[in-house]
Homo-oligomer: A and B are copies of this chain.
Amino acid sequence: MIIALAGGVGGARLAVGLAANLPPERLTFVVNTGDDFEHLGLSISPDLDTVMYTLAGVANPDTGWGRADETWSFMETLGALGGETWFRLGDRDLAVHVSRTTALAQGARLTEVTRALAGRLGVRHAILPMSNQAVRTFVHTDAGELAFQDYFVWRKCAPVVSAFRYAGAESARPPEALRAIMEGGEVEAVIVCPSNPYISIAPILAVREIRAWLQNRRFPVVAVSPIIGGDAVKGPAAKMMHELGLDVSAAGVARHYGGLVDGWVIDRRDARLATEIEALGLDALVTETLMTSRSRSIALARSVIDRAGALAEGARRRVRA
């Protein structure tokens, strides 16, 4: 079993490639819920939905969120009624939020709700929220501590970031299905998708049992750099690193993950960083990481899976030796 940790659009793109390479019984996605929030009375899980929509082939390819073939009558009318329109909710997207909200209100857990929705959308691989308990990302900025969507959507990531807080993470538990995998000992590798390290992956790692499991791992963790050529493909990762005073590069992200990652996958245009990354004690793989098409996602996923396999084999050899 391979576990892939994923957040928003970068994670979802690699997810497509991973799902094309591995059957459902060999691949499980664990998705960030730190940017979940309640809005207009609805329980919204942006990263779960982005991964789910992308795997289902119904994602909007242009925005990185929401659905293709979307209509906007609800939002248009809500605006005319004086309602809040800063968080865009399409008419089709809304059906997922209403379904989730009513199911949660009836006592279902987020894991069950996600499984049911993804199943209905034709997704074959398991998509697990990192926890059924609420974890909420807060961003410390020069405009004060902001709830994630306040920072991300309302303020368009404009405030200068100084730190993050993942409220609820310390008491949140991984869902049962993930604990069963963690305790089962069948995990071959964990793949960290090229999602934002601070707001997509860090909340997952902030869940105590997941962090401890990775710290005490007997399998390799391979991460794909979300920074290519000193910039993020999408989203505020590079801006954040700059504001945090960090080296805005694939090597900088590698240092951020520290001992939690064994293999680091970087883009060809960052080939010069391979030595620096290897000096950190990490395995470095240089390849084409920009997922501009489905076939590129599949090719990158294949490389990542193969490298994870090689690292696992290497570790086994060392144990035998």
Contact = CB atoms under 8 A, between A and B. Distances in A.
| Copies of the polypeptide in the assembly | 2
Give the 8 A-B residue pairs with the shortest CB-CB distance, closest first: A73-B91, A77-B95, A78-B95, A77-B92, A91-B91, A71-B73, A74-B91, A81-B120
Interface stretch (A1-9, A96-104, A240-248, A299-307): A96-104
Contacts of A105: 41
A281 interface: no
Interface string A74-109: 111110111100000011101110110110010000
A158 interface: no
A256 to B, nearest CB: 38
**Most B CB atoms within 10 A — which of A75, A76, A94, A101?**
A94
B81 A95 contact: yes
Given A82-B116, A116-B82, A77 B91 contact: yes
Contacts of A82: 99, 116, 120
A117 interface: yes
A101 B41 contact: yes
A94 B120 contact: no
Contacts of A98: 40-42, 74, 78, 83
A105 to B, nearest CB: 6
Contact of A74 (B42, B95, B102, B120): B95
A117 B77 CA distance: 11
Given A41-B102, A41-B105, A95 B83 contact: yes
Contacts of A276: none
Given A92-B77, A94-B94, A105-B41, A83 B71 contact: no
Interface in A186-223: none
A176 B132 CA distance: 44
Interface string A254-281: 0000000000000000000000000000
A117 B73 contact: no
A170 interface: no
A80 B41 contact: no
A58 to B, nearest CB: 9
A70 interface: yes
A145 B196 CA distance: 55
**Most B CB atoms within 10 A — which of A70, A74, A96, A120?**
A74
